[in-house]
Structure 1
Amino acid sequence: MPGIAERNNVHVRGTGETAMMFAHGFGCDQNMWRFVAPAFEEQFRTVLFDHVGAGGSDPRAYDKNKYSSLAGYADDVVEIGRELDLTDAVFVGHSVSSMIGVLAAERAPGMFGKLVLVGPSPRYIDDEGYRGGFTPEQIEELLQFLDSNHMGWSTQMAPVIMGNPDRPELGQELTNSFCRTDPEIAKAFARVTFTSDNRSDLTRLAVPALVLQCSDDIIAGKEVGDFVSRTIPDCRMIVLNATGHCPNLSAPEEVISAMRTFV
């Protein structure tokens, strides 16, 4: 089996004593942080990686049982952190990786001292007293569309997720990223992502967190961001002017500026 660095295509840069780990969202890879991570290389040792099945990760490491829940991805984060001897590091997670970071922090106390959660959602499906933004039927329809037509789903959904229709090149980049992902792994990861419920995990987060919430995000709306920031014991939220679900691409300077107030 590949080593941890090869398995997750780990890249370490920067010179700081404290590490900052960046984790990408569904259908993406570490390249999505290329406008944000370099800004922190003077102050931090930056750690970028790809979840198994994404980017330059080793596809041989994919195990459908291990990755049938977000716990498998969180275990990988912890393994990377132990390999690099991380202590009191900053974890920066985009979208589904926000919850992966919450799980990892719980699994490895002391590894992460702060979490930055970009566009987080602990549950995408509406529930009694909770609005995640989607009905069960809408999520199932989305997943069935992906099951039946990976390329079609990518082409149609990526621009909607990205937002910023006045900048079509952003939607095209996300489309290309989705299309590069192994279809079978993408289908499985999508089901894990969109059917998970991590609301109770938020209450157990023992380190400070910052939620970066886009002002208009079809995937994780402000109501969800409010829930996350309200439920994590030590948390604050910054609402960005940025729109869409990927401010790390569409508004990196605003993301960097907001992060600097916290780290």
Structure 2
Amino acid sequence: MDIRRRNNVTVTGSADGPVLLLAHGFGCDQNMWRLVVPALAERYRVVLFDYVGSGLADPSAWHEPRYSSLDGYARDVLDILDDLDLRDVTFVGHSVSAMIGVIAAAQAPRRVSRLVMVAPSPRYIDDEGYRGGFSTEDIDELLESLESNYLGWSAAMAPVIMGNADRPELGQELTASFCATDPDMARVFARTTFLSDSRKDLTTVTVPTLVLECAQDVIAPREVGAYVHAAIPGSRLVTLAATGHCPQLSAPRATAEAITAFVGAA
């Protein structure tokens, strides 16, 4: 299979620069990175892609059993790394992709040498001694609403996820991204995302890691960022003066600067 076509792979930036692989989260695609790419492309080779089931990836490659676990999405990442023969890559993963990157790094340590986790969460559901931000009932209700009326759920939830009520165009963009995703594929990715528990995977991280959180984020509250930071020895925690779950759109300059400072120092 043509991996580049399957995952709509795009390569831009400095041909000889260090490689950044930017991975989008649930309901999104590579377009969500467009505001940070120009700044990063000045010094890095930037690789973007869409997971199968998202964006302009080839829908014929969708196979529900594969994409019912985070491992399936990590396989997309590993396929791209292998196809492009990329090594010493900084994996930049937004939201659920932060944990997908952890899985990929554990399986391909020669290819992934640094992790940038943007608004990560290893578990969205609260547990004893752990605050993920949602109760079991919250997630059950979220998934039931999504499965019964995906477009309505998208219109209601995207502005909440984005935050920044004073900038409604951001919520509108995320809504449009959600609505452009095939509902059946989105339901599988949603269940995979919101029911995942990847806390044990954090113990496998041995590469330099940046945990990048927002000051206010209803999807990944700051307690989660602190948990991830504490679970990964030697990781760096940076809190952006930003609101919402998508700082690459709401605070692109600060996001790009944090990534650049980390990669340059790692």
TM bracket (short chain): over 0.9
Tell me the equivalent position of 1:176: 176
- Kept in 2, the 8 Å contact 1:66–1:72? The answer is yes
Match of 1:13 in 2: 12
Residue 42 of structure 1, CA deviation:
2.7
Q: How does 1:66-81 map to 2 (within 5 A)?
A: 66-81=66-81
How is 1:248-263 mapped onto 2 (pairs within 5 angstroms)? 248-263=248-263
Residue of structure 1 equivalent to 2:29: 29
Q: Output the CA distance in 2 between the equivalents of 1:11 and 1:108.
A: 21
Provide the rounded CA distance (Å) in 1 between the counterparts of 2:130 and 2:33: 31
Aligned residue for 2:262, secondary structure, equals coil
Structure 1: 5+ residue stretches without partners: none
> Equivalent residue for 1:111?
111
Corresponding position: 1:48 with 2:80: no
TM-score by length of 2: 0.97
How many Å separate the matches in 1 of 2:252 and 2:42? 17
Match of 2:192 in 1: 192
Distance 1:176 1:17 in 2: 33
Tell me how far 1:234 sits from its aligned partner: 2.5
Task: Give per-residue Cα distances to partners, 1:225-254, cap 9 Å, x unaligned.
Answer: 000011012211100101000010011001
**Which residue in 1 is equivalent to 2:246?**
246
Shift of 1:18: 2.0
- SS of the residue corresponding to residue 262 of structure 1 reads helix
TM-score under structure 1 length normalisation: 0.98
One-letter identity of the residue aligned with 2:115:
L
Distance in 1 between the 2:247 and 2:173 partners?
Answer: 13
Quick one: which amino acid aligns to residue 245 of structure 1?
A: H
Rounded to whole Å, the distance in 1 between the matches of 2:211 and 2:243 is 15
- Asked if the contact 1:213–1:240 (Cα under 8 Å) also holds between the matched residues in 2, the reply is yes
Q: Name the counterpart of 2:210.
A: 210
Distance 2:197 2:98 in 1: 13
Between 1:132-141 and 1:13-22, the stretch displaced more is 13-22
> 1:228: which partner in 2?
228
Q: Deviations over 1:130-180 (max 9, x none)?
A: 111111111010000000000110000000000000000000000000000
SS in 1 for 2:210: strand
**8 A Cα contact 1:22 1:37, kept in partner:** no
| Aligned equivalents of 1:233, 1:107: Cα separation in 2 | 19
Say how many residue pairs are matched: 262
Letter in 2 for 1:145: S
- Equivalent position SS for 1:255: helix
Q: How far apart in 2 are the matches of 1:3 and 1:18?
A: 24
**Corresponding letter in the other structure for 1:143:** L
> What secondary structure is seen at the aligned counterpart in 1 of 2:204?
coil
How far apart, CA to CA, are the structure 2 residues paired with 1:141 and 1:246?
Answer: 23
CA distance in 1, matches of 2:249, 2:103: 25
Uncovered stretches (5+) of structure 2, i.e. residues with no partner? none
